[in-house]
A and B are shown apart, each in its own frame.
Chain A
Amino acid sequence: MKRLITLLLIFSVILSSLIYAQEVDREELQSVDLGSVEFLNYEGPHEVINTRNQIIGIGTTLGLQKDEGFRVSAYLDKYRVIHALGPEDEPGIPADIFILEAGAGVDHIRNLRRIIAGYLSEVYGYDFDTAFLIAEFVTVYNAVFRGDMEMIRSKYSATVQKNLQPEKVGISTKYFEWPGNTMMLIPLGRAGKAPGREIVSTEEISDKAVIERFREEEDRGVEERKGMVELREQEVESEQQRIAEERRELEEEEQTLREKEERLKEDLATAEESEKEETVRELEETHERLEETEARKQELEIEEAEQEERVESIREERERIAEDEKEQLTEDTPAAFQRPEDRTIFLITSEKGGAFEGFFVQVDPITGEVKKQAEGITVIGRTYTEQGSRLYVLGKENGGIITLLQLNPESLEVVQEGSEAVHPASAMVLDGSNIYAVVSSSGSTYLARFNKDLELVDRSDAVVMPFSYIKKEGKTILVQGMGGDILVLDAETLEQKN
């Protein structure tokens, strides 16, 4: 009996701890304050790790289908984009509707933004950095207006609305609610009011409510807001230039037409009866054309006024950004540009299953006191290279793929991230503006050459040992092949020479 009670007690303790853990998890999840649109992302181990380029490639693939004229693009059964563009004169904002189907595996907001950026780059011609910035705003916009059908009905076109499912509109801030439950709107505008020249409506995605969400972040979202302001300013300038050019052309045309009108009037006065009809007809055509020109000039004035309003809105946002930065400067201590001898970089290393991992710190070289620690960056191995004012290392950021990283030694933040997955056992060699490392692809490992921006420039055809020593010798590179032999590769093309 005693044994039974003991077993029951033990069992109940175990059971209660399990239930408690589940409740803690749920409570923990539910207690996360996401009022500032802070996305909850998955940070654990992954079964499938995609490279940055592969993730972007999903978006690019969706975009390529749109380029080929498909109204609906799809990537397997995971991602879908509906290009909801109705007739040109349809009232309301047109949009792309970006859908995460039930099978979508993306679980980090950064990767989702990469997919969207890949799509925007392909379809609308933005460079990747600009596309990524727009993607940041698109996701926050859709989080802010999640499920807000009232807003959507008031702004978006009927074509957009009929493709939406109200319960899925926008995006949740929790990653596990994304698959099968997400329909993000990417509002579109028309560059130059011309059909077929759609661009993302930066005015819409930088709505005041969206900006306020950015402002709730610790850094007030200053860098993102600056980027958006610059983009909006460029768009306005482009429009103003177009308007100015069209106005000049209209004025020239008007001048020509008036001269023609004068000439025709004179001709009419002196023309014979048989020619008068023709002259009158030409005069009427000229009058019509003059009226059209005048009407277009008035339209241009309205467009100009619209651009002026946009400029005012941009100026207001610039003022807000400056004010926010001033507040931050008074809150924080002034930036300390230390003399070089005041701090030095050190790598704190630990062993995990026979492999070494570490993180960067800045220390006082006299006392060894740690002054600053890098956040979220795991260095693979025990070495790094310092070149110019940058650190180069093999590592991963926030649990992502292992790749080349370029860090600012002062802020200990990642400045550039490699475009390809690098084998964790790889060496890294810097030579001038080239960086050599071993990359994995389709189960094999190859020597790759990267540029200073950590973009893959070339890759060997020969398969190499992942842990091979890499030696630059003049115009060649020596590495170890899979058979243990030493391969001699061209340092530029990585073609095998022996």
Chain B
Amino acid sequence: MSTKGISTPLSRILPSRKLPRVLLILIGSLLFPLPSATAEELGGVLWQYPTGGRIVGPPVITDESTVIAVSEDRYLYSLSAEGTLLWRSDLGFRPAFGAALGPDGSFYVVSRIGTLKALNPRGEELWRADILGPPAGPPHPTTDGTVVIRNLDGVVSAWSHNGFLRWRKNSERPSASGDLMVSEDGIILLPGASGHLSAWDLFGREQWRFLTAGDPGTPFPALEETLGGTSYGTAFLLDRNGKMLWNLSWQEPVEVLYSAEGAKYLCTGASTLRCVSPEGTELWQSSSGAGVSAAAGYGNGLLVLGERGVELYSAQGEKTTIISHDFGPGFWAARPSALVVHGGENWHITCLNPALFLFPGDSWNWKVGKAGIPSSADYSNSTDYRYLLSVAQGQDENAQKKILEEFRDLYQLGPPKTIPPYAEEILRLIASGAVTRPVYAGKHLLNDFPLRRIEALELLACYGNLNTPTHLLSLLALEWDSHVTAKIIETLGRLGCDGDGRVAKGILKALRRTPRFDVVVPQASMDALEAILRYNGRLTSEDAAEACLYVYRGDYPRELRLQASGILMKMEELPGPF
């Protein structure tokens, strides 16, 4: 939003020398008054968008400054930074919580009765699943694409980004005042009704358990530590192993707001803000007139967003009221793109004027949690892992076949048992086999088992995560068997994600080095590009168009060429870079 005044078009009416300029200026000033539309005069709102129902859960602001909000009218809305509707998706159900944004741009929404739905970045349904009961909180996507969610009975489910159930485990019933959170390094924190805060890894294995002094609220996980509070009036800080570093007590329920390196921010009661040092000393407290619905780190201080306004607190506790307005109950979201958005019970999505948040000398410097890489699961000492590793790297085809059967059974026999955390790694090793670790006896390749590689690749579509395509692309560049190559491409398609276009690039290279008489690889390529297009809502790479043109112009069966042209036409319909 420009804060400059709007100037009159004087230059367009001054060229004549016949009329005195002073007179012209006088006339002009009467005809064209000089309004200056500063941000303050326009008010605090950038735009408002009415939906057909209450906004459910905090809106999401994407990297492109798109605002995503879910309404009780059963729609998921995507609005531009200027407040225009980009698209909306009919969820088909009343949502229980707000949408969650995955690291690959997918959205996840859950219904009141427990239907989890995944949508691509254009709002088209990718898959849906049953979490076996009403949800206790929204879905939580993790950095490798796994989506974790808990229902009111305490059943925790984890789904891959492409819709495969990873595992499902019973935890204790959720606490009344808290929802699970997932830390940057992939630890799932589960507040329980018994007063325990449990930590699980991304494979559903409990790491530690901490008994709080009461009903634990939603924790604030940060790297290396966890900040938590309870409705009984205590706050605590734990290290990464769940050992308590300190705890504090007050007479009112404690809600965790934000944890920064230099300070921890809590809310006690309805509106008392407290700042605590990393060592557990209370630094200051202040009563918020705005109410406290949400908070975000701002510079070295804290932005507090409430039902009655927005306030800024410096690190020393000095308060500045930015807006005093009755927003009413609702949810807040804020991003470094200078968007602050409220989704309210008044059925509106409201975006505040970013000029309100620009202070002299300040830069727009939000602290937003960064997506990190999950710490590698510690299973190197596992006997089972070492055995599987030796088989995957070895030359015993039958042993590999048995492992693959076992992994397949894990999926096919009713609700999956806990999948070993090293399953994806073992499958990758079997899939790469002789390609990356050839074992020769003279000229004879001892460990070339293409059928096992194909089987492993098939299973990788279920067991893979957002990091798997990177490994598969390396494999694609080296694989010599066209059927295995086709399977790699098929698996890449089933994994779906290709936000940066590397998969399309790899597919194009594979096409170009495949003999023209081979139809298997081109067919798999077109199938994969269709799947990727569906998953991402678009194809982001020129290489994808190039691959389609390669097939379309080639001497391939008519149906295949029609499929290629269909993808091209679809790409042309969609806005954005291919």
Contacts and interface: CB of A to CB of B under 8 A. Distances in A.
A335 B326 contact: no
Given A315-B52, A334-B48, A340 B321 contact: yes
Nearest to A342: B40
A374 to B, nearest CB: 15
B323 interface: yes
A389 B347 CA distance: 22
Given A322-B73, A389-B308, A336 B43 contact: yes
Contact of A319 (B52, B308, B321, B352): B52
B416 to A, nearest CB: 25
Contacts of A336: 42-45
Contacts of B44: 336-339
A8 to B, nearest CB: 59
Interface string A260-287: 0000000000000000000000000000
A447 B56 CA distance: 44
B72 interface: yes
Contacts of B347: 226, 321-322, 325
A408 interface: yes
A323 to B, nearest CB: 8
B43 A338 contact: yes
B48 A410 contact: no
A342 B44 CA distance: 12
A81 to B, nearest CB: 34
A337 B323 contact: yes
B348 A334 contact: no
Contacts of A237: 94, 112
A322 B50 contact: yes
A397 interface: no
A45 interface: no
B42 A334 contact: yes
A118 to B, nearest CB: 26
Contacts of B74: 315
A321 B52 contact: yes
B53 interface: yes
A164 B302 CA distance: 65
Interface in B516-533: none
A335 B43 CA distance: 7
A326 interface: yes
A336 B46 CA distance: 10
Contacts of A389: 289, 308-309, 324, 326
B52 A233 contact: no
B53 A410 contact: no
A334 B45 contact: yes
A226 B308 CA distance: 22
Interface in A406-438: 408, 410-411
A318 B324 CA distance: 30
Contacts of A338: 43-44
Interface string A280-318: 000000000000000000000000000000000001001
Contacts of A229: 53
B328 to A, nearest CB: 10
A388 interface: yes
Interface in A320-354: 321-322, 325-326, 329, 333-340, 342
B326 A408 contact: yes
B51 A322 contact: yes
A226 B50 CA distance: 12
Interface string B309-324: 1000000000001111
Nearest to A411: B326
Interface residues of A, number: 27
B325 to A, nearest CB: 4
B250 interface: no
A322 B94 CA distance: 17
Interface in B41-87: 42-45, 47-54, 72-74
A325 B347 CA distance: 10
B348 A325 contact: yes
Interface string B99-127: 00000000000001000000000000000
A408 B54 CA distance: 22
A376 to B, nearest CB: 19
A321 B73 CA distance: 11
A339 B40 contact: yes
Contacts of A340: 321, 324
A451 to B, nearest CB: 15
Contacts of B309: 389
A321 B347 CA distance: 10
Interface in B111-165: 112
A329 B48 CA distance: 8
Contacts of A337: 43-45, 323-325, 352
A315 B48 contact: no
Nearest to B323: A337
A336 B73 CA distance: 27
Contacts of A408: 326
A315 B73 contact: yes
A408 B309 CA distance: 13
Contacts of B348: 325
Interface string A208-241: 0000000000000000001001100100010000
Given A233-B72, A337-B323, A388-B308, A318 B53 contact: yes
B91 to A, nearest CB: 12
Contacts of A329: 48, 50
A331 to B, nearest CB: 13
A394 B404 CA distance: 79
B327 to A, nearest CB: 9
Nearest to A236: B94
Contacts of B48: 329, 334-335
A336 B323 CA distance: 10
B282 to A, nearest CB: 24
A325 B54 CA distance: 14
A241 to B, nearest CB: 9
Contacts of A335: 43, 45, 48, 325
Contacts of A226: 347
A325 B325 contact: no
A342 B52 CA distance: 33
Contacts of A410: 324-326
A334 to B, nearest CB: 5
A441 to B, nearest CB: 34
Nearest to A316: B52
A340 B319 CA distance: 13
Contacts of A321: 50, 52, 347
Contacts of B322: 339
Contacts of B308: 388-389
Interface string A441-481: 00000000000000000000000000000000000000000
A468 to B, nearest CB: 32
B331 to A, nearest CB: 17
A440 B72 CA distance: 45
B289 to A, nearest CB: 7
Nearest to B287: A388
Nearest to B50: A325
A89 B43 CA distance: 60
Closest 9 CB pairs of A and B: A318-B52, A336-B43, A337-B44, A325-B50, A337-B325, A322-B52, A318-B73, A389-B308, A340-B324
24 contacts: A229-B53, A230-B54, A233-B94, A237-B112, A318-B52, A318-B73, A321-B52, A322-B347, A326-B49, A329-B50, A333-B43, A334-B42, A334-B45, A334-B47, A335-B43, A336-B43, A337-B45, A337-B323, A339-B322, A339-B323, A340-B321, A389-B289, A410-B326, A411-B326
Given A319-B73, A339-B322, 19 more contacts: A226-B347, A230-B54, A319-B52, A321-B50, A322-B52, A333-B43, A334-B45, A335-B45, A337-B45, A337-B325, A337-B352, A338-B44, A342-B40, A388-B289, A388-B308, A389-B289, A408-B326, A410-B324, A411-B326
